[in-house]
Amino acid sequence: MTDPLSDVLALLRPRSYVSAGFDAGGAWSVGFPHNVGIKCYAVVSGACWLVVDGVADPIALKGGDCFLLPGGRTFRLASDPALPATASTEIFGAPRIGNVVTLNGGGDLFLVGSRFVLSGSHAEILLAMLPPVVHISKESEQAALRWSVERMMLELQQQRPGSFLIAEHLAHMMLVQALRLHMDEGAGGVGWLFALADKQMGAAIGAMHAAPAQRWTLQSLAERVHMSRSAFALRFKQMVGMSAMDYLTRWRMLLAGDRLANSSDPISVIAPALGYESESAFSTAFKRVMGCAPRQYKA
């Protein structure tokens, strides 16, 4: 049996495209472009600043810190956030696998990171569930990531047989661990991840993911988590940003999109498997959520 976070990451189908190290010295600023993917970094030693598009204040990073950028926004890493940025393509060139890139002789900052390319369909809908930045700075939380970071650093530096595969698996571990820590740190916050961490909302989301074809209603979901119908409806919308029924429909359509893209199942099979008695009702819901008819999507 899976869980909602695993379900979403499975639909995103993240694969580590680049796992590399960055060793910088002196005064520097590097700008990174928008991408449809997830970036995950850990500062092994030294310090720098992180500036993310749409996030008000620069974030100070120090040795041990980890950060995740799930939304693909443009961002800068710099020794001083006031410095003009050099494009990352000028520093890093073509994508490198397992390399350590040195800037200005290095020595002041060393970080390792991975870029995850997302091969799943409609990644933007799924990524909207995740926060723009996850910053892990508490020492007690860093311990959970430290082994993965240190092991990745060794693999990148030593370049032994199998290093690329090990670095890729470590990157996936860092991704899940960072999201877990963000969930734990933000208990009581607003957003899909925080809703998963909430005992009652997490149970409701888990029930919908475990049985998407079930004829869920507000009443049955509320009873499942021992709440009144009205209290459940209000709390779910406040935490997740949409109603429980809208969430259920969207999740069903994301599953449908995945099956249309990656299987030979016809609509007549997919529709009832996701709780729809007629193909027309399924097609109407699919077009509303995904922006096109199921047959167009499959084509």
198-238 tens-digit pLDDT: 889 999 999 999 999 999 999 999 999 999 999 999 999 99
Query: Lowest-pLDDT range, 8-22, 29-43, 96-110, 217-231?
Result: 8-22
Instruction: Give the CATH class of 4-185.
Output: mainly beta
Average model confidence (pLDDT) across the chain: 85
- The sign one gets for the Cα dihedral 123, 125, 129, 133 is positive
Query: Lowest-pLDDT range, 148-157, 196-205, 232-241?
Result: 148-157
Contact yes or no for 98/112 (Cβ under 8 A): no
Rounded Cα distance between 85 and 27, Å, is 11
| Contacts for 13 with CB less than 8 Å, ≥ 6 apart | 118, 119, 120
- Which one is the CATH code of 193-298: 1.20.1260.10, 1.10.10.60, 1.10.8.60, 1.20.1110.10? 1.10.10.60
Max CA pair span of the chain:
65
Banded model confidence at residue 97, pLDDT cuts 50, 70, 90: very low
Rounded Cα distance between 203 and 221, Å, is 9
User: Would residue 75 be called left, alpha or beta, if left means φ above 0 and alpha means ψ between -120 and 50 degrees?
Assistant: beta
Rounded Cα distance between 138 and 100, Å, is 26
Please say if the pLDDT value at position 38 is more than 90. no
Phi, psi angles (nearest 5°) of residue 237: -65, -40
As given in the structure block, the two tokens for residue 202 are 């997490």
171-190 tens-digit pLDDT: 778 778 878 877 776 655 66
The full set of domain ranges for the chain reads 4-185, 193-298
